[in-house]
């Protein structure tokens, strides 16, 4: 099984379109004002927006970046504002956080081998 796409609700699809284009995602479907789909810059997964009144309902989306600090700097230069800058976390990930126009929490991170193989992974020998 492979994850194809994640779809989030966005009350203002135009604002979401501008945000995610600036964010670096590449549009592949433009059915605004009700739907839009983007290709992530690395790999073949996609990310979608659907128009709805209740955006952000507790959704958190994680995007992994090889060079987190450079990516955050580039996005800040493009006009995006971060709630927190890149910082090392106790779970061995480096993360930065921002919120999209629909209220969805976005975390950019770099985890290296700790992404799927942290020391506390279930089923690993101590």
Cross-strand pairs, 63 = 108
**What integer pLDDT is reported at residue 58 of this predicted model?**
76
Looking at per-residue pLDDT, the higher value among 120 and 54 belongs to: 120
Q: Write the Ramachandran bin of 101: left for phi over 0, alpha for psi from -120 to 50, otherwise beta.
A: alpha
Does the pLDDT of residue 125 top 90, yes or no?
no
Is this structure's pTM higher than 0.75? Answer: yes
Per the structure, the count of domains in the chain is 1
Is 101 a member of any domain? yes
DSSP, res 113: G
Is 109 a member of any domain? yes
CA separation, residue 87 to residues 20, 61, 64, 74, 126 (Å): 23, 17, 14, 16, 27
Under a CB-based contact definition with an 8 Å cutoff, are residues 97 and 68 in contact?
no
Tell me the CATH number at 13: 3.10.180.10
Q: Is 97 exposed, middle or buried (0-12, 13-18, 19+ CB in 10 A)?
A: middle
Under a CB-based contact definition with an 8 Å cutoff, are residues 60 and 107 in contact?
yes
Q: What is the pLDDT of residues 64-79, one digit of tens each?
A: 999 999 999 999 999 9
List the domain range (segments joined by +) for residue 38: 5-114
Is 120 a member of any domain? no
Is 39 a member of any domain? yes
Percent of the chain with pLDDT over 90: 76
Does the pLDDT of residue 126 top 70, yes or no?
no
* Segments in the chain forming alpha helices (H): 13-23, 68-77
Is 20 a member of any domain? yes
Under a CB-based contact definition with an 8 Å cutoff, are residues 65 and 115 in contact?
no
Is 121 a member of any domain? no
Under a CB-based contact definition with an 8 Å cutoff, are residues 30 and 12 in contact?
no
């Amino acid at each position: 099984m492979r994850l194809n796409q994640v779809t989030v609700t966005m009350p203002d699809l135009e604002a979401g379109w501008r945000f995610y284009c600036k964010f670096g995602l590449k549009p592949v479907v433009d059915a605004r004002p009700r739907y839009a789909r983007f290709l992530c810059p690395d790999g073949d997964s996609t990310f979608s927006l659907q128009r709805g009144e209740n955006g952000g309902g507790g959704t958190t989306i994680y995007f992994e970046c090889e060079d987190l600090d450079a990516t955050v700097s580039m996005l800040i230069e493009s006009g995006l504002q971060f709630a927190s800058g890149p910082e090392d976390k106790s779970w061995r990930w480096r993360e930065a956080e921002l919120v999209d126009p629909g209220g969805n929490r976005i975390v950019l991170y770099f985890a290296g081998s700790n992404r799927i193989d942290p020391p506390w992974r279930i089923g690993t020998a101590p």
